[in-house]
Structure 1
Amino acid sequence: MPNTFNLCGEGKNATFKKDIIKYFVTNGNSTIQELAKDISLSIPTVTKAVSELLELGYIEEYGKQETNEGRRPILYGLNPDSGFFVGVEIKVGFINLGLMNFRGDLVELDDNVPCHTENTMESVDELCRLVKQFIDKSEIDKSRIQEVMFCISGRVNSSSGYSHTIYNFSEQPLTRLLSDRLGYQVDIENDTRAFAYGEYIKGVVRGERDVLFINASWGLGLGIIIDGELYRGKSGFAGEFGHTHMFDNDILCHCGKKGCLETEASGSALQRIVRNRIEEGESSFLTNHTGDIYSLESILDAINDEDPLCIDVVEHVGLRLGESVANLINLFNPELVVIGGVLSRAGEFLLQAVSASVRKYSLSIVNRDTRLCLSKLNERGGIIGTCLLARKIVLD
């Protein structure tokens, strides 16, 4: 069985204690009187639950509240080291690992750890070995690790625990396979949804409750947040934005179909178009570079160095992407659309092109209440969101 630390026990009292911890996570320190009022519980109930949480080490006293009247009440708040959450972001050929405390601070981070991300048991064993090494080298109390969350691209059913894109060779859920090997509670989620949740909690969201997150990377994904909650769809596959049919072209998408949106509006499209235009004789700063001049990293560096050809191509990609974002705005009427993923490194060159198409193709009465912006978390968004989702599962 997984070696999980029992957060608050079971029953109604456990629910009260989780509500108190959620309050501290969201609002910071508070007095018992403020807590009782804000979470609609009696002062004796809150006092009892706070005492038990103090004894368990989940909360601490933080001095007394300043006041001009009578006795100063004691301030209570979350003990950030009372619980930890491990996030594992699975990429092609490497993984990112993060360790987050209860307050939401990343206390450990390992980027770009080489890993053979293949659809084999040997790859799963290697993955688990790397996660164990990451946990073992940390100096935290390992019994305080509440959850390990993996985010994976493609079709992921977080409810059933199955991934349908990679690590899908076993009849048992991937979550059980990983949990048995690691000795902790394990959950999985789609990478774009994890990124969207990270942006929602710690990124550019400023109180909006209806948010769309566009993950413009090698492919194209969509994270949907409705009334503050991630929308997953019936089977957990909502958000396959890149595979909507948009073009009558003969470009084969990696899904096996032709005409998908991401064949013209993604990192793979950006790379293909830049390569074709240079090979047809157009000039670019890239031809003076060493190494892989057609890598996304090289192309994005050239864009930020104001290479005319690469800027022209990313603006073309942005206009195509913006046409579909306009459709999403007409469908969802969101408060906020966030453009993230690797292509967001193109900054205003991409954003302005997307914005131009949104203004052209969406209904003015719908888009006027929608804010469009770039991701704040950038390349950290996936791992931050993965850790935050692990915390959310424990508290929910």
Structure 2
Amino acid sequence: MGQRLLDEIKKDTKSAMMKRRIITHFIYNGDATITDLSKDMDLSIPTITKLVDEMCEEGYVDDNGKLETNGGRHPNLYGLNPDACYFLGVEVEKKYLSFCVVNFKGEIVDYKTRIPFKRENTVECLDKMCDEIMSYIGSLPYKKEKYLNVCVALHGRVNPSTGCSYGTFNFAQTPISEMITDRIGMNACVDNDSRTTAYGEYMMHSVKCPKNVIFINLSWGLGMGIIIDGKLYNGMSGFAGEFGHNFGYDNQQICHCGKKGCIETEVSCSALYRKFIERLKNGESSVILKEKSIENIELDDIFDAVDREDVLAIELVEEIGQKLGRHIGGLINIFNPEQVIIGGELSRVGDYLLHPVISAIRKHTLNMMYRDSDIVLSELKDKANAVGAALLSRSNLFVI
């Protein structure tokens, strides 16, 4: 059914276009009545009824029965058939892979995290990633032909339109999306990890999410996802959101991009780790030193130290929060968003980060604009990237 659905929807006909619009409505608004669809698409009820009936016969839309209403006729409620097809999201981190599968309705049907993996810019690493993808798909009960798209979330500059990555897997002229497609035998696309994470937060929000959102990805680097009027903003070349590579500090610290003083040299997990280790080498103490030597300390140990109320770890997290809040204040002044979501690995420390961020935003943002922006931590936490990639793989095929 999956490939038949894709072939039908991708036809260059007026009917196929209208069916894609109906699917788009279901993706962003959930189940709907014929009347709801008619109003949203500005088409007559007979036209919508004919299209929906065809989609039900083709097996990718379900008639979910009568909608309970107060008096009058009870209209039928329609929605996407969850089992019509599936979509896979892949998160590629420095030391692990994570996978998420969603059905056609956008519901998470499986999630697997922290599969050991070493991210390298080599053909061998790409082959290893594709082998892990195929192994994961093979472990699930869904037929391979039901997977319509795989979205791989990569760090750094990624152009989703061309399928090219300029950070991870940038060793060939061929777009990385094509190389993945050839290896796994399924349609694949790529996108920047901050955008996929932002999309996951937006689509899976527990309450109706605002339409204008800035997502801050505070991980080893510092990225940003921008949602304007409910749609991801990619920019001209697909590189929008490189927040961390704006100049921020005259610290002579070389960023991994090759420039000095980027914001992420002071506001990121890499900055936290670098400063923590430097302070220990300069003679300061931490609870971690009772269990590990300085050379063996990892980022997770610092997060654990925060939970154990380690003074040095908390001090550095709060310092990063204050600096981040200052820069977010500038973004609020520019974008005037309804919501700013702070996610990524460093968001795991919770209020130790959020409180200094909010305090700094108040100091560096116009009062009227600050009051309009809700500052929150990620809801999906470490699941957001893989979930967002899976949902984006669905939207890339169907959403108009």
| TM-score using structure 2 length | 0.93
- Return the letter of the residue paired with 1:45: T
- Return the letter of the residue paired with 1:77: G
Structure 1 residues 348 and 293 mapped into 2: Cα distance closer, same or farther (>3 Å)?
farther
The Cα shift of 1:92 comes to: 1.3
Which residue of structure 2 aligns with residue 32 of structure 1?
Answer: 34
The Cα shift of 1:89 comes to: 1.0
Look up the SS of the partner of 1:82 in the other structure. Answer: coil
- In 2, the alpha carbon distance for the partners of 1:394 and 1:250 equals 44
Unaligned runs of 5+ residues in structure 1 are none
- In 1, the alpha carbon distance for the partners of 2:73 and 2:248 equals 67
Deviation per CA, 1:166-194, whole angstroms, max 9, x where unpaired?
21122121111111222222111000011
Structure 1 residues 327 and 32 mapped into 2: Cα distance closer, same or farther (>3 Å)?
closer
Deviation per CA, 1:109-140, whole angstroms, max 9, x where unpaired?
22122234322222222221111111122111
- Checking the alignment, whether the CA contact within 8 Å between 1:148 and 1:186 is kept in structure 2 is yes
- Return the letter of the residue paired with 1:313: L
Look up the SS of the partner of 1:236 in the other structure. Answer: coil
- Could you tell me which of 328, 336, 340 is aligned with 1:333? 336
- Return the letter of the residue paired with 1:59: V
- In 2, the alpha carbon distance for the partners of 1:286 and 1:56 equals 60
Deviation per CA, 1:28-52, whole angstroms, max 9, x where unpaired?
3333334323332222212221121
Look up the SS of the partner of 1:118 in the other structure. Answer: coil
Which residue of structure 2 aligns with residue 103 of structure 1?
Answer: 105
- In 1, the alpha carbon distance for the partners of 2:76 and 2:345 equals 46
The Cα shift of 1:384 comes to: 0.8
Q: Bigger CA drift: 29-38 or 231-240?
A: 29-38
Which residue of structure 1 aligns with residue 115 of structure 2?
Answer: 113
Unaligned runs of 5+ residues in structure 2 are none
Q: Bigger CA drift: 274-283 or 354-363?
A: 274-283
- Checking the alignment, whether the CA contact within 8 Å between 2:199 and 2:232 is kept in structure 1 is yes
- Checking the alignment, whether the CA contact within 8 Å between 1:100 and 1:107 is kept in structure 2 is yes
- Report whether the alignment pairs 1:355 with 2:355: no
- Checking the alignment, whether the CA contact within 8 Å between 1:323 and 1:358 is kept in structure 2 is yes
- Could you tell me which of 19, 22, 27 is aligned with 1:20? 22
Structure 1 residues 323 and 204 mapped into 2: Cα distance closer, same or farther (>3 Å)?
farther
- Could you tell me which of 188, 191, 204 is aligned with 1:189? 191
Structure 1 residues 350 and 9 mapped into 2: Cα distance closer, same or farther (>3 Å)?
closer
- Checking the alignment, whether the CA contact within 8 Å between 2:224 and 2:242 is kept in structure 1 is yes
Structure 1 residues 300 and 116 mapped into 2: Cα distance closer, same or farther (>3 Å)?
closer
- In 2, the alpha carbon distance for the partners of 1:9 and 1:328 equals 38
Deviation per CA, 1:63-117, whole angstroms, max 9, x where unpaired?
2233565654433222111121111111113211111111212212221222343
Structure 1 residues 251 and 79 mapped into 2: Cα distance closer, same or farther (>3 Å)?
same
Which residue of structure 2 aligns with residue 265 of structure 1?
Answer: 267
Structure 1 residues 114 and 7 mapped into 2: Cα distance closer, same or farther (>3 Å)?
farther
Structure 1 residues 205 and 277 mapped into 2: Cα distance closer, same or farther (>3 Å)?
farther
- In 2, the alpha carbon distance for the partners of 1:251 and 1:380 equals 31
Look up the SS of the partner of 1:99 in the other structure. Answer: strand
Look up the SS of the partner of 2:331 in the other structure. Answer: helix
Which residue of structure 2 aligns with residue 8 of structure 1?
Answer: 9
- Report whether the alignment pairs 1:219 with 2:221: yes
Which residue of structure 2 aligns with residue 313 of structure 1?
Answer: 316
- Checking the alignment, whether the CA contact within 8 Å between 1:199 and 1:205 is kept in structure 2 is no
- Checking the alignment, whether the CA contact within 8 Å between 1:88 and 1:151 is kept in structure 2 is yes
- Checking the alignment, whether the CA contact within 8 Å between 1:3 and 1:183 is kept in structure 2 is no
- Return the letter of the residue paired with 1:384: V
- In 2, the alpha carbon distance for the partners of 1:48 and 1:7 equals 16
Q: CA RMSD in A?
A: 2.1
Which residue of structure 2 aligns with residue 298 of structure 1?
Answer: 301
Provide the aligned length of Structure 1 versus Structure 2. Answer: 395
- In 1, the alpha carbon distance for the partners of 2:290 and 2:210 equals 45
- Return the letter of the residue paired with 2:147: I
- Return the letter of the residue paired with 2:7: N
Look up the SS of the partner of 1:86 in the other structure. Answer: strand
Look up the SS of the partner of 2:32 in the other structure. Answer: coil
Look up the SS of the partner of 1:269 in the other structure. Answer: helix
Structure 1 residues 134 and 297 mapped into 2: Cα distance closer, same or farther (>3 Å)?
same
- Checking the alignment, whether the CA contact within 8 Å between 2:3 and 2:146 is kept in structure 1 is no
- In 1, the alpha carbon distance for the partners of 2:368 and 2:24 equals 37
- In 2, the alpha carbon distance for the partners of 1:254 and 1:38 equals 47
Structure 1 residues 339 and 129 mapped into 2: Cα distance closer, same or farther (>3 Å)?
same
- Report whether the alignment pairs 1:368 with 2:382: no
| TM-score using structure 1 length | 0.93
Which residue of structure 2 aligns with residue 380 of structure 1?
Answer: 383
